[in-house]
Structure 1
Amino acid sequence: MPNILLTRIDNRLVHGQVGVTWTNHLGANLVLVANDDVAKDTVRQNLMDMVLPDTVQTRFFTLQKTIDVIHKAADRQKIFIVCKSPQDVLALVKGGVPIKEVNVGNMHYAEGKEQITSTISVDENDKETFRELNKLGVKLDLRKVPDEKGKDIMNLI
């Protein structure tokens, strides 16, 4: 069983808050970015690598590769998974990745989305995806930073 400390939804993926605050708080030594676009984009990968301490390894996998290899992770790997959207997380869960808790950190506002907190905007597809994750037993904890009191996103959608 892979040692997944936390999975975070953040459409910015790895940036200062994720790379420093969350990684240190969790004690993660591996940040796995599960995103089909970034898996092919070495420029974005290099930018994200620059944010993380040298003691933390990174992997930039497609969703399918994450599903295929996550169970081969060594016990010593303390994994922090970062995804861009709730749909990506649902794909991982349905693919057998043992995700028990998701931190919903940042989902930008866009046309057709409803802002439910200062950092989270959702459309009907997002709401339905969160409902499905909830039915699958995944805890959905909404908060920007670790020391903030978390909220259950299900109370807001």
Structure 2
Amino acid sequence: MSDYRRCFIPGGCYFFTVVTFDRLPVFRDSMNVDLLREAFRKVKVKRPFEIQAMVVLPDHLHAVWQLPDGDADYPNRWREIKKHVSKRVDTATNHRREKQVWQRRYWEHVIRNSDDWRRHLDYVHYNPVKHGLVECARDWPYSSFLRSVERGMYDLAWGCTEPASIRGWTTGYE
């Protein structure tokens, strides 16, 4: 059993990496991305939180969330999101008749300050380029990058080359 301990900070800001089962490209199918979006919408109605950045790649996703004041319950939000998608995605089941959509665990990191926050946003938005899926961040359809451009956080040409802020940097869980 793992000695890993999650960090719970009410009203905290978190970076997440969530991976599909065996890194299967579940989200190569745009219909499955739509199911994921639907899951986020439903969970946010019941358990509000702000998505500050997000990218969905074929076999994993990254997100930065801000939780409401006094609330540190991101595990139940992820459980509900994963459950919603798992019930609707057409995929294999295991010997327990569980859908094999997600890895059981996920990576979380508490955002410590504004520099840490910006580095994680850059990491999220550059990820499709890093994985060779597109030439520029603006070209990936399943990302909050264009929304961030509209908010004045990025120039549209950002992310066509590796940003200095994340050059040689890893999140600890790729």
TM-score over 0.5 for the pair? no
Higher percent of residues as strand: 1
With the length of structure 1 as denominator, give the TM-score of the two structures.
Answer: 0.31
With the length of structure 2 as denominator, give the TM-score of the two structures.
Answer: 0.29
